[in-house]
Homo-oligomer: A and B are copies of this chain.
Amino acid sequence: MNSTVQLYDATLRDGMQGEGMSLTAREKVRVAHRLDELGIDLIEAGFPASNPKELELFGLLAQERFEHAQIVAFGMTRRRGVAAQDDENLRILAECFAPVCTLVGKTWDLHLEKVVKVGREENLAMIEESVAFLVGCGKRVIYDAEHFFDAWRANEEYALECLRVAARGGAERVVLCDTNGSSLPHQVGTAVGEVVAALGRDVEVGIHCHNDLECGVANTLAAVLNGATQVQGTMNGIGERTGNANLVSIIGNLQFKLGYDVLPGDRIEKLTATAHFVDELLNLAPDPNQPFVGRNAFAHKGGLHVAGVRADASTFEHMEPELVGNERQLIVSELAGRHTVSEKAAAVGLEVDDATAQRVIDRVKELEADGYQFEAADGSFELLLRKELGGHEPLFVLESWRTIVDQNAQGHVECEATIKIWVGGERYVRSAEGNGPVNALDAALRSVVAEFHPHLRDIELTDYKVRLLDQHHGTGATTRVLVQSTDGRRTWGTIGVAQNVIAASWQALVESFEYAEAPREPAPAADADGDPATTGRPA
C-alpha cells in the first residue's frame, strides 16, 4: 500500500486552458519553483511547439535549477504521412532541454474517424514511431492516451493496442486520460485495474482526469487503488470547462487518507501556501471552501460544533489542519455562540465575559442584517470586539471628506481628495492626489495620522473588492467594500457598507488604520517561503 505514487503537475499546460487563465513566462517560472519546493515530481511546463511564447518559456526554464522536480515538455504524436524525424513538433521536443516529454495521441475510433481522419494502423505507427524517435534522442517519454475511457468502452482491444505500441516504442509510462471527464469512479477503477493487469510489468500506468462529473479527484483515487502509480492534476483544479482533477485534494487524500508518502513531512505543510500562491498569481480569489487548503476547510460555525471541537478536535475534524499548513477557523455569524466569540477574542489576547460576548453577537447580527460580513473582515471584527470591551481610542474625529475625479478634454484622468478631521482637539485639512478616489483619501488620511503613529506609513492596501448586495430596499443598491491591508508581516481585512462606493471604501479604509493602531503582540516575521504581499493600491 505504500508503493510510490508520482505527482505530475499540469498546471502550466493543461491548467492554462481554463477560462481567464494566463501567466507570463516569468510567472510560470515562479510557479515551477514553488511546485518544486512543494516536492512535485514532474512539472508539465508547456507545449513548446504550440507558439513562440511557450518556446521562450522553455528557454528560461533551461537556465533554472530545480531541487527535485523534472521539467516535462508536452507535445503530440507525429502528423500522419510524415516521418517522426521530419515532424516539426517532435523536432522541437527533441531539441528542448526538458529531460521528459509527454506525447498525447489518439486512442478512440470516433476521433480517428471524425476529427483527425487517420486509419487505425497508421495511428498505431504514429504512436510507436513518435515515442521511439524521442527515446532515441535520449528523452524519457510519457504517453498520454487521450479520451482513453471512451475508447475503452468503444473498443477495448484497440485501446490496449495503442498503449502496447507506446510501451514498445520505449515509453516509461502510459497515462489514461479521461479527457472529456465523462467517466465515473467505478468505471475508472475497473478499467485501470484491467489495463494494469494486461500490461503487467511492461510499463507503468498513470491517470489524468477532469472534473465534468465532479468526480475528478475520486476518479484519480480509484485509479491509484487499482494500480496507477502516477497522478496528474492541476493546482486547485484549474483547467478547461470544469477543470482538471484537483492535485491539491489528490495529494491530501493520498497522504492522509490512503497512506501514500507522496510528499515528505515538512514539504506537505507547504500545501496551503502553494495553492494560495498559484491562485494569487492567476489573480483568483482563493476558494474559501476548497478542501484541505480553503480558509473554511476547518471552520466551524454552529455553536454546538464549536463546543465539540474545543472538547476534542477529532469529534468534528477529519484531520489536523496544521498538517497541510492550514488552520482551524471559528466563524462568527448568526449561528455563533458565545464560545466562538471568546475563542476569537482569546486569539488576539483579549478576554471577554459572557455579557460582552452576547453584546458582540447582537451587534454582529445587527450589522449582518445591514450587509456586513465578518468572515473575510477579521480586522473589522476585532475592532468591533475592542469597541464592545471599551477602551478603544478612535484615531480621529471626522468632520468631512470629498473626492473629485475627472477626465479632461485631453483624456487625462485626475483624482483629488480633501479631508477635514480633528485629532487631539486640533483641526486638520489635508488634500492629496491619487490613482483613484480611494487611493487619494488614503493618502490624505495617512498624511495626518502617520504624524502621530509613524508605523502607519508602512501599511499598504493590497486588495480591494466591491460588490452590490441584495436589493430588496428599493432606493438603490447597497455596496459592500472589502479591503485587504498589510504591514509586511500581518494581513487583515476590513469592510465598509454604504449606498455609495466611496463612502463604503472610506469606512473600510478608516477601519484598516484603526485596526493597525490597536495595541497587540507583534506578528512573527514572514518566513522564507512566504512571497511578499502584492503592493497595488486600490483606485
* Chain A interface residues (CB < 8 Å from chain B): 17-20, 22, 24, 110-111, 114-115, 179-182, 184-186, 211-219, 221-222, 225, 240-243, 246, 249, 252-253, 257-258, 281, 283, 288-291, 294, 296-302, 305, 307-308, 311-312, 314-319, 331, 333-335, 368, 373, 375, 398-409, 413, 415, 420, 435-439, 463-472, 475-479, 498-504, 506, 534-539
CB atoms of B218 and A296 under 8 A apart: no
A186, A398, A438, A463 — most chain B CB neighbours (10 Å): A186
Find out whether the CB atom of A405 lies under 8 angstroms from the CB atom of B318. no
B contact residues around A288 at 8 Å (CB): 19
Q: A501-B438, A503-B405 are in contact. Are A185 and B299 (CB under 8 A)?
A: no
User: Given A415-B500, A468-B538, A19–B437 Cβ distance below 8 Å?
Assistant: no
Most chain B CB neighbours (cut-off 10 Å) among A214, A290, A301, A334: A214
How many whole Å from A514's CB to the nearest CB in chain B?
17
A374 to B222 alpha-carbon distance, docked (Å): 37
CB pair A283 B19 closer than 8 Å? no
Contacts of A301 in B (CB 8 A): 17-19, 240
CA distance A98 to B498 in the complex (A): 39
| Cα A389 to Cα B298 with chains together (Å) | 53
Sample of 17 further A-B pairs with CB below 8 A, known A19-B299, A401-B407, A407-B503:
A17-B335, A20-B373, A110-B312, A111-B315, A114-B311, A115-B308, A179-B316, A185-B185, A213-B257, A215-B253, A217-B218, A242-B290, A400-B408, A405-B437, A435-B477, A438-B501, A501-B539
Q: How far is the CB of A13 from chain B (nearest CB, A)?
A: 11
Q: Can you list 11 A-B contacts (CB < 8 A)?
A: A18-B296, A214-B216, A242-B296, A281-B470, A401-B406, A403-B406, A435-B500, A463-B468, A464-B468, A477-B537, A504-B539
Q: Contacts A19-B375, A290-B242 known; A221 to B184 CB distance under 8 Å?
A: yes
Contact status of A214 and B291, CB under 8 A, knowing A111-B315, A301-B240 = yes
Name the B residues within 8 Å of A115 (CB-CB).
307-308, 311-312, 315
* Cβ contact within 8 Å between A241 and B299: yes
Q: A184-B257, A314-B110, A465-B467 are in contact. Are A405 and B500 (CB under 8 A)?
A: yes
From B297, B368, B464, A467 is in contact (CB under 8 Å) with B464
Would you call A436 and B470 a contact (CB within 8 A)?
no
Contact, CB under 8 Å: B538 / A477: yes
Distance of A537 Cα from B408 Cα, bound (Å):
25
Q: How many copies of this chain does the complex contain? A: 2
Contact indicator A534/B470 (Cβ below 8 Å): yes
Check A536–B225 contact: CB distance below 8 A.
Answer: no
What B residues does A212 contact at CB under 8 A?
291, 297, 318
Give Cα A22 to B478, complex, Å: 16
Chain B residue at minimal CB-CB distance from A238: B289
Q: Which of B305, B478, B500, B539 contacts A477 (CB 8 A)?
A: B539
In angstroms, how far is the closest chain B Cβ from the Cβ of A147? 8
- Knowing A413-B500, A500-B415, say if A538 contacts B241 (CB, 8 Å): no
Given A404-B402, A436-B500: A315 and B110 interface contact (C-beta under 8 Å): yes
User: B residues within 8 A CB of A467?
Assistant: 283, 463-465
Q: Which residues on B sit within 8 Å (CB–CB) of A186?
A: 222, 225
In the bound complex, do residue B469 and residue A466 qualify as a contact, i.e. CB atoms below 8 Å apart? no
Residues of B contacting A22 in the complex (Cβ-Cβ under 8 angstroms): 333-334, 368
User: Which residues of chain B come closer than 8 Å to A219, judged between CB atoms?
Assistant: 218
A539/B409 contact (C-beta < 8 A), A289-B242, A314-B110 known? no
Task: Say whether B242 contacts A537, CB under 8 Å.
Answer: no
In the assembled complex, which residues on chain B have CB atoms less than 8 Å from the CB atom of A296?
Answer: 18-19, 240-242
Partner of A500, one of B215, B216, B298, B539: B539
Tell me the bound Cα distance from A114 to B304 in angstroms: 13
Cα–Cα, bound, A184→B224 (Å):
13
Whether B406 contacts A405 by the Cβ 8 Å rule is no
Residues of B contacting A439 in the complex (Cβ-Cβ under 8 angstroms):
476
Contact partners of A436 in chain B: CB under 8 A = 479, 499-503
* Residue contact A241 to B413, C-beta cutoff 8 Å: no
A501 to B, closest residue via Cβ:
B539
| Contact yes or no, B538 A253, CB < 8 A | no
A242 contacts across to B, CB distance below 8 A: 289-291, 294, 296-297
Bound together, the chains give a CA A218 to CA B207 distance in angstroms of 17
Closest Cβ of chain B to A532, distance in Å, is 12
Which residue of the partner chain B has the closest CB to A463?
B468
Contact A405 B407 (CB under 8 A): no
CA distance A36 to B235 in the complex (A): 37
User: Which residues of B are found within 8 Å of A307, using beta-carbon distances?
Assistant: 115
Tell me if B503 and A413 are in contact (CB < 8 A): yes
Give the nearest-CB partner of A213 in chain B.
B253
How far is B104's CA from A63's CA once the two chains are assembled, in angstroms?
A: 60
Closest to A298 in B: B241
Query: Considering residues A404, A408, A479, A501, which has the most beta carbons from chain B within 10 angstroms of its beta carbon?
Result: A501
Interface contact A405-B403, CB-CB below 8 Å: yes
Q: A501 and B538: CB pair below 8 A?
A: yes
Q: Tell me the bound Cα distance from A20 to B299 in angstroms.
A: 12
